[in-house]
Amino acid sequence: MNIEEIRGIPITDFLARLGHEPTARKGNEWWYSAPYREERTPSFRVNIRKNVWQDFGTGGGGDIFHLAGEFTGSSDFKEQAKFIVAAWGGVLPENGAAFRPKEKKPDEHPDEETCSVKATFGPLYNKVLLRYLEERGICSDVALPNCEEVRYTLRGKRYFNIGFRNISGGYELRNRLFKGSLSPKDISLIDNGSDTCNLFEGFIDYLSWMVLGLGCGDDYLVLNSVALLERSYGFLDKYDHILCYLDRDEAGRRTLETLRKRYGNRIEDCSALYKGFKDLNEYLQNRLPQD
């Protein structure tokens, strides 16, 4: 696929491929809950005629490449293209010039400011972040050994996030209002030397699994995005058993089918445990005592 073919992918179809469906459709405007952060009221709009998006919660917006940048936490155009093609299906040309962004003429407006983020890391002691996890059913006894507190300043504002490290040194970031990542984007692996691996889409589901006490001593692999599935193969290939706790949605089903084609009966679908719920964390939350 070249740059124009990628840019021509309908953003609504791309979001559906990632498992995100609109909450409302009003003419050319489709509304979603922001797909890369947590929010209670949908504030993410796609104009299907112009094929552009806008996030009224953060002020962000743009085309499909800008959207991929939000998912990957990267401003690198090539990394954005790789993410889109991995999720959509297709092949990037070997010649990088074929998908290099067009150079701007001197009289054109310069690119928007790209903010570099210098983050600091430490133990997860922030009470607001811990309270957010508790509301999702995750106790500090599970969160503290698995997560870090990530602090950074962006455009003069200070931010605090729950951070979950991946194998490349990047982090998945969460707080009550934000869902994103700190590049580089990659999978996460907890290797205990087991011949069984438990597979999750996101780290909140992994933490939920730990809270539920479904086992111990196995290995754990968190995709951090179904678009990163191929990166997991080099690790999953060695396991005799792969227990899948994927979301009960279209993206989760497609991911499971892809894994079955590669691994056959080494794959076990464990989603029946949380039948009636979207994912493992939603199941956990519904087991909590009601006030």
Query: Residue 179's pLDDT is what?
Result: 81
Decide: helix, strand or coil at residue 186: coil
Domains 3-96 and 188-285 alike in fold = no
Q: Encode 125-146 in three state secondary structure.
A: CCHHHHHHHHHCCCCHHHHHHH
d(CA 6, CA 100): 12
Query: Residue 155's pLDDT is what?
Result: 65
pLDDT of the chain along its 291 residues, tens only? 678 888 889 999 999 888 888 999 988 899 999 888 877 788 899 999 999 999 887 778 889 999 988 888 887 888 888 888 888 876 555 444 444 444 434 333 333 222 346 789 999 999 999 999 999 999 999 999 999 999 987 667 788 899 999 999 989 989 888 888 887 889 999 999 999 999 999 999 999 999 998 877 899 999 998 889 999 999 999 999 999 999 999 889 999 999 999 999 999 999 999 999 999 999 999 987 765
The domain limits of the chain are 3-96, 120-182, 188-285
Angle, CA of 274, 129 and 270, to the nearest 5°: 15
Residue of 23, 22, 3 lying closest to 11 (CA atoms): 22
Q: What is the CATH number of domain 3-96?
A: 3.90.580.10
Q: What is the CATH number of domain 188-285?
A: 3.40.1360.10
Entry pTM? 0.64
Query: Residue 98's pLDDT is what?
Result: 45
- Residue for token digits 């892809």? 258
Query: Residue 117's pLDDT is what?
Result: 63
